[in-house]
Chains A and B, each alone.
Chain A
Amino acid sequence: MDLRLTEDELAFRGEVRAFVRDNLPASIREKSVAGRRLAKDDYVRWTRILAAKGWSVPHWPVEWGGTGWSPVKQSIFLDEVQRGYAPEAIAFGVSMVGPVIYTFGSEAQKKRFLPGIVDLSDWWCQGFSEPGAGSDLASLRTAARRDGESWVISGQKTWTTMAQYADFIFVLARTNPQAKKQEGISFFLLDMKSPGVTVRPIQTIDGGHEVNEVFFDDVRIPLDAIVGEENKGWDYAKFLLANERNGIARVGISKGRLDRIRQLAAIPVYGSGPKIDDPFFRARLAAVEVDLKALEMTQMRVISNQRRDGKPDPASSVLKIKGSEIQQATTELLMEVVGPYVLPYEDPEALTNEPPAGPDWAGPAAANYFNTRKVTIYGGSNEIQRGIIAKAILGL
């Protein structure tokens, strides 16, 4: 047992840290540090910088653009990119549909779709949740029927993150209404420009436009737009969701936010002096750090288990629960450090050069706190994760 990073891993960490420091455009970094919304172009620009280095899809097979890094190195990479305030990879392509395509897709699908994910020339979004199918995803009602040389899709998806930017959507749709609910679902790849696709924005409590409703009104797509076998979509979805939970701990994001909290807490932003001088605040900050340190070690344990048997670990539900709770705790602390000047509202979607009403360091701390309540809800709510632990780990 040796829990230190090896010389090689330490050198790698230094290399990634330096790369992010030297290559992340200042304008993107400034927005991320302040907690402001990134534009589509910011994501594309950073992904292209990574792709040019060969680092945009590290965990993929090498033949499709992956790096061949060990799981520990992949984790170090993610941690450094997140802590360095770089944009996160667009998970819908990189972590979700990409692995589904290279694992279950046809050769033609691999050639058509994987390169566009590597350099983000194709932006993907996720067509899973529906108004009547949230935690009970398998009860989804969007239907696909075969008609000549086409599949015809009809129904509605919701909570579709960044669908307004998307070129493609992957969709779970019912192909056999007679079968048991998990056994009649198929997995489709669909062009957002297809006639009959409508995207309607949903405004979230922070005022932002992140999520959407997507309507399919008899949308015709080719027969080869199905992934793998008909009626096996639920298996691919389970594979995808298990992948989604890897990296969901977002340890680096929370570290970056804690860095920001310490930075602001060290300067006397109000007359009462630096917040860090308050022992009660220090203790609360330390409590979150303890949780995060433990989570970081737990994540390493899960990673090293995976290395051994290759299967997703139900312990990743532990990562989801703690990781999301810690993200929320850090947004609360940041709001507390910012203090009275959390009050002014700034429209996250406004394209304006007008300076903020309050001091610039205040940023949208309250908006991010409100927005971050989503993390215990999405990706399988924390209650769903507790159910998984009870069944898969405890056998209850």
Chain B
Amino acid sequence: MDFDLSSEQQMLRDNVARLMKKKYGFEQRKAYLAAANGFSDDLWRAYADLGLLGAPFAEEDGGFGGGPVETMIAMEEFGKALALEPYLETVVLGGALVRHAAAPEQRADLIGRIAAGDLRLSFAHAERQSGFDLNDVGLTAKRDGAAFVLDGEKGLVVNGDSADALIVSARVAGGRRDRDGIGLFLVDAEAPGVSRRGYPTQDGRRAAEIAFANVRVAPDNVLGSPEDGLPAIERAVDETIAALAAEAVGAMSEALAMTVEYLKTRKQFGVTIGSFQALQHRASDMVVALEQARSMMYFATMSAADDDADERAKAISAAKVQIGRSAKFIGQQAVQMHGGIAMTYEYKVGHLFKRLTMIDGAFGDADLHLRRLGDRGSLFA
């Protein structure tokens, strides 16, 4: 058992941290937010130059040979800075779908373009009725010779309004909630029949509701087997949850650091408020919550590449539960202990709180994963 980063990984962390420090001050971030796509194209370019966009992909696919640990490192730093770029959507989720579903030549093409910074992806999967059920897919894909035609609607497509291409899940066969018969299709975001309605999200990002009317997908753009996409989706979502855990740990550690700094500087009754035991003990409970979350971030990262789907699902659900609970406690207490200033839009802590809240809700909240874990049996088999 070894928690040490390799020297390359340490360097990656230093590089990302340095870039965030230089480019992601909270005031600078406000300028990125004001852009039409809601993030910074310059930083996306900088990520490509740093090798971040190809970090978790195999070298034979055009990546840099890293894996879940490299993703964890980048996401934790992004979490501290509240970075807005669609790294999770493109590299983590999109990248995992490509890795697990696409044929080798598709994989090499797409990953090469992702790593170069030339392709931004979003996953168009959720629908109005689907909740967190990954198998609930109603948008239809009808065969037309070797091609497919998509009809239906997708929602909550994060960064869907600015993505270059969408990976769309669609029902090729069977009923709306069947596990079999789901395909994955790569669709140019500007293709005829695609209409996107972009909007801001609670955590300062952007998403889109997207309608597909008679959208034609060429055979080359069918990712893997068109009727057996769900295992790849589940696996990609598991890897994404592991990455979200790291982002959450980054955001939680920043919220705690800001809170402790505030406790040391804010004076009331003639003393710094950090001298009050009630607040000291609350801050200590935040440390406990953070360390437990960090441990589960490691556990999720280690398990993300597990080929045993059941063991992986248990580990990921366990991590999501811990992250959700810790994020709620730390987010709420960071606001409480800052007092009024945390309620203002111009101060960072409230935005960390909002992002943490949305992370808990992404891909199933703590209660949902607790139920799943309960149904799967002991974590200590």
Contact B283 A1 (CB under 8 A): no
Which A residues are CB-close (under 8 A) to B5? 1
Report if A290 contacts B (CB, 8 A).
Answer: yes
Among candidates A255, A294, A395, residue contacting B260 with C-beta atoms closer than 8 Å: A395
Give Cα A255–Cα B9 distance, bound, in whole angstroms.
34
Which of A99-107, A295-303, A372-380 lies at the binding interface?
A295-303
In the complex, residue of chain A having the shortest beta-carbon distance to the beta carbon of B285? A386
Which B residues are CB-close (under 8 A) to A287? 321, 370
Contact A396 B285 (CB under 8 A): no
Report if B48 contacts A (CB, 8 A).
Answer: no
Tally of chain B residues near chain A (CB < 8 A): 42
Within 8 A of A (CB), among B339-381: 367, 370-371, 373-375, 378-380
Which A residues are CB-close (under 8 A) to B141? none
Report if B4 contacts A (CB, 8 A).
Answer: yes
Contact A282 B287 (CB under 8 A): no
Contact B292 A394 (CB under 8 A): no
Compute the total of residue contacts between A and B using a CB distance below 8 Å. Answer: 138
Contact B370 A283 (CB under 8 A): yes
B302 to chain A, nearest CB (A): 4
Contact B287 A1 (CB under 8 A): no
Within 8 A of B (CB), among A215-269: 255, 258-259, 262
Contact A321 B288 (CB under 8 A): yes
Report if A112 contacts B (CB, 8 A).
Answer: no
Query: B271-298 toward A: CB 8 Å interface, digit per residue (1/0)?
Result: 0001101001101110110011111101
Contact A300 B3 (CB under 8 A): yes
Contact A396 B322 (CB under 8 A): no
Within 8 A of A (CB), among B51-96: 69
Which of A3-11, A18-26, A188-196 lies at the binding interface?
A3-11
Report if B318 contacts A (CB, 8 A).
Answer: yes
Which B residues are CB-close (under 8 A) to A3? 1-3, 298-299, 302
Report if A137 contacts B (CB, 8 A).
Answer: no
In the complex, residue of chain A having the shortest beta-carbon distance to the beta carbon of B256? A394
Contact B292 A386 (CB under 8 A): no
B interface secondary structure, majority: helix
Which A residues are CB-close (under 8 A) to B9? 1
Known interface pairs A297-B296, A318-B287. Does A2 touch B2 (Cβ–Cβ under 8 Å)? yes
Report if B207 contacts A (CB, 8 A).
Answer: no
Give Cα A294–Cα B260 distance, bound, in whole angstroms.
24
Contact B285 A395 (CB under 8 A): no
Give Cα A322–Cα B295 distance, bound, in whole angstroms.
13
Give Cα A301–Cα B280 distance, bound, in whole angstroms.
24
Which B residues are CB-close (under 8 A) to A290? 296, 318, 321-322, 370, 373, 379
Report if B264 contacts A (CB, 8 A).
Answer: yes
Contact B299 A4 (CB under 8 A): no
Report if A389 contacts B (CB, 8 A).
Answer: yes
Report if B263 contacts A (CB, 8 A).
Answer: yes
Give Cα A3–Cα B280 distance, bound, in whole angstroms.
32
Which A residues are CB-close (under 8 A) to B275? 396
Report if A62 contacts B (CB, 8 A).
Answer: no
Which B residues are CB-close (under 8 A) to A289? 318, 373, 378-380
Known interface pairs A289-B380, A290-B322, A291-B292. Does A2 touch B1 (Cβ–Cβ under 8 Å)? yes
Contact A390 B295 (CB under 8 A): no
Among candidates A6, A292, A300, A396, residue contacting B283 with C-beta atoms closer than 8 Å: A396
Report if A393 contacts B (CB, 8 A).
Answer: yes
Within 8 A of A (CB), among B293-316: 293-296, 298-299, 302
Known interface pairs A289-B318, A298-B292, A315-B291. Does A389 touch B284 (Cβ–Cβ under 8 Å)? yes
Among candidates B2, B69, B367, B374, residue contacting A304 with C-beta atoms closer than 8 Å: B2
Which A residues are CB-close (under 8 A) to B292? 291, 294-295, 298, 318, 322
A interface secondary structure, majority: helix
Which B residues are CB-close (under 8 A) to A4? 1, 302
Give Cα A291–Cα B379 distance, bound, in whole angstroms.
11
Which A residues are CB-close (under 8 A) to B367? 283
Report if A162 contacts B (CB, 8 A).
Answer: no
Best-buried of A255, A304, A395, A396 by chain B (most CB within 10 Å): A396
In the complex, residue of chain B having the shortest beta-carbon distance to the beta carbon of A391? B280
B271 to chain A, nearest CB (A): 12
Contact B284 A390 (CB under 8 A): yes
Known interface pairs A283-B374, A322-B292. Does A393 touch B287 (Cβ–Cβ under 8 Å)? yes
Give Cα A389–Cα B286 distance, bound, in whole angstroms.
10
Within 8 A of B (CB), among A283-328: 283, 285-287, 289-298, 300-301, 304, 315, 317-318, 321-322
Report if A177 contacts B (CB, 8 A).
Answer: no
In the complex, residue of chain A having the shortest beta-carbon distance to the beta carbon of B69? A1
Which A residues are CB-close (under 8 A) to B379? 286, 289-290, 292-293
Query: A148-175 toward B: CB 8 Å interface, digit per residue (1/0)?
Result: 0000000000000000000000000000
Give Cα A296–Cα B374 distance, bound, in whole angstroms.
19
B274 to chain A, nearest CB (A): 4
Contact A298 B283 (CB under 8 A): no
In the complex, residue of chain B having the shortest beta-carbon distance to the beta carbon of A299? B295
In the complex, residue of chain A having the shortest beta-carbon distance to the beta carbon of B299? A297
Contact A394 B284 (CB under 8 A): yes
A293 to chain B, nearest CB (A): 5
Known interface pairs A294-B292, A294-B295. Does A390 touch B280 (Cβ–Cβ under 8 Å)? yes
In the complex, residue of chain B having the shortest beta-carbon distance to the beta carbon of A293? B379
B104 to chain A, nearest CB (A): 28
Give Cα A26–Cα B200 distance, bound, in whole angstroms.
65
Which A residues are CB-close (under 8 A) to B321? 286-287, 290
Give Cα A239–Cα B274 distance, bound, in whole angstroms.
28
Contact B288 A322 (CB under 8 A): yes
A329 to chain B, nearest CB (A): 14
Which A residues are CB-close (under 8 A) to B322? 290-291, 294
Contact B375 A6 (CB under 8 A): no
Which B residues are CB-close (under 8 A) to A395? 260, 264
Chain B interfacial positions (CB closer than 8 Å to A):
1-6, 9, 69, 260, 263-264, 274-275, 277, 280-281, 283-285, 287-288, 291-296, 298-299, 302, 318, 321-322, 367, 370-371, 373-375, 378-380
20 A–B pairs (Cβ distance < 8 Å), ordered by A: A1-B5, A1-B9, A1-B298, A3-B1, A3-B299, A4-B302, A279-B375, A283-B367, A283-B374, A290-B296, A290-B318, A290-B322, A290-B373, A293-B318, A296-B295, A298-B294, A301-B298, A304-B2, A321-B288, A387-B277
Interface contacts beyond A289-B378, A301-B291: sample of 4 additional A-B pairs, CB < 8 Å, sorted by A: A282-B371, A286-B370, A286-B379, A394-B287
Q: Which 6 A-B pairs have the closest CB atoms?
A: A282-B374, A297-B295, A390-B280, A389-B284, A386-B284, A294-B292
